[in-house]
Structure 1
Amino acid sequence: MARSPLTRDEVLEAAAALVKQHGPAALTMRKLAAELGTAVTSIYWHVGNRESLLDALVERTVQDMGAISPTGRTPAERVVSVARRLRRELRERPHLIAMVHERGLTERMFLPAQQALVHEVRAAGLHGTRAADAVRAIQFQIVGFVLVERNRERSPVQSPAETDLWEPGALPGDPSLSRALSRPPDPERLFLLSVRALATALLGPPSR
């Protein structure tokens, strides 16, 4: 059975998969052609040279990051939904995000998520500088959390580990706290805890 004609979208999908798994250095036209079962000349015909391919991947990543739709009944819930989706997108494609950053398109990439946050903080009654501060604080929390996560994942093995530093008797009068600190952190739980607390504080009545 004859193979259907190769499309540009298929080329970009395969290229994105290679970059996600192995990083930009692993993306060669020959390897991409092998993945697709086609000739190298066919890849060039669809996307041009390697630099043009990388540019197309960056543009595709920027567009993919724009597909964030808030969910939830309240502005705070919808802010949390945007934060969770953005964190997931950033964690799933670190190499592609790095390529976007290297080409100076990071702010453009984050604009759709920022616009979604603007809509929700305005729905909560915030305007002007207070609204702008809320949007940026939430955005910084998301990006900063992801950076800390990745740094912890890539750091060398620690000795003693964080979990070794809190023995049961380390905090007299509060053994449950010692036990909790001796367990590995749950990043998903901590992320939701921090974003919900931040959203609730920022979208609530101003402090006096």
Structure 2
Amino acid sequence: MKGKGTRTRLGREDVLAAAERLVMRHGPRALTMRGLADELGAAVTSIYWHVGNREALLDALVERTLADLGEIRPAGRAPAQRVVSVARALRRQLLDHPHLVAMVHERGLTERMFLPAQRALVHEVHEAGLRGVRAADAVRAVQVLVVGHVLVERNRERAPAQHPGEEELWTARAAQGDGALARALAGPLDPEALFTTSVKALVTGLLGPGA
């Protein structure tokens, strides 16, 4: 943390960047004008001058978050590959910015937050030949998979240690003699690999194996 008086110039972007860091570390409720001033080594009056009151600051942070989350560029040669890339990028954004995403949600802007990803998905499902209801269903199915997977990942992170754990529950006998399956289920879960497997299977089913 910078000591007071160490900054010669303080701009609006400096204030917003510091506020974003505080929210990402501690959540929106921990963001106070006094705490932000201490973070920046500035007077509280200077913070008010640049961003207004706390509500105005939160509004500005939400707009900044929406702009950042809008940067999703599909990658890959085929539509299916590009849809998977959008899904993976959206998952990563949601996991990397939990407090900021929660702040957007609390202000009733969740649908707007997802709009850039939806538009990217619409373009790709159109490229794959889907139109109308089928295209809409494909876009929503991918979005729901992403959100559902993120929620499960977050819940697993917060869950207490399990006794007995999977490594104790899964034996070759429990897996009906399939030792490889038992060893896999007893091992640690790789969330990203599982997500990629899931979204690829979904997209193949939605767009067809040749898309």
Q: TM class by shorter-chain length?
A: over 0.9
Query: Residue 6 of structure 1: which of 6, 10, 14 is its match?
Result: 10
Residue 110 of structure 1: aligned partner: 114
Number of positions where the alignment pairs a residue of Structure 1 with one of Structure 2: 206
Question: Are positions 1:33 and 2:22 aligned together?
Answer: no
Q: Percent identity?
A: 69
Query: Residue 140 of structure 2: which of 124, 129, 136 is its match?
Result: 136
Deviation at 1:126, TM superposition (A): 0.5
- Normalising by structure 2, we get a TM-score of 0.93
Q: Alignment partner of 2:74: what SS?
A: coil
Residue 154 of structure 1: aligned partner: 158
Residue 3 of structure 2: aligned partner: none
- Normalising by structure 1, we get a TM-score of 0.94
Residue 95 of structure 1: aligned partner: 99
Residue 183 of structure 1: aligned partner: 187
Q: Alignment partner of 2:147: what SS?
A: helix
Deviation at 1:163, TM superposition (A): 2.8
Structure 2 CA distance for aligned equivalents of residues 36 and 85 of structure 1: 31
Structure 1 CA distance for aligned equivalents of residues 71 and 126 of structure 2: 20
Structure 2 unaligned regions, length at least 5: 1-5
State the AA in 2 paired with 1:193.
Answer: T
Query: Residue 168 of structure 2: which of 159, 164, 170 is its match?
Result: 164
Structure 1 CA distance for aligned equivalents of residues 17 and 167 of structure 2: 41
State whether residues 7 and 42 of structure 2, in contact with CA within 8 Å, keep that contact through their aligned partners in structure 1.
no
The Cα RMSD (Å) is 1.7
Q: Which moved more, 1:184-193 or 1:152-161?
A: 152-161
Cα 1:4–1:199, aligned 2, differ >3 Å: closer, same or farther? Answer: farther
Deviation at 1:159, TM superposition (A): 1.2
Residue 208 of structure 2: aligned partner: 204
Q: Which moved more, 1:67-76 or 1:113-122?
A: 67-76
Deviation at 1:4, TM superposition (A): 4.7
Deviation at 1:114, TM superposition (A): 0.2
Question: Are positions 1:81 and 2:93 aligned together?
Answer: no
Structure 1 CA distance for aligned equivalents of residues 191 and 56 of structure 2: 37
Structure 2 CA distance for aligned equivalents of residues 100 and 9 of structure 1: 19
Structure 2 CA distance for aligned equivalents of residues 24 and 170 of structure 1: 45
* Structure 1 stretches of 4+ moved >2 Å: 167-173
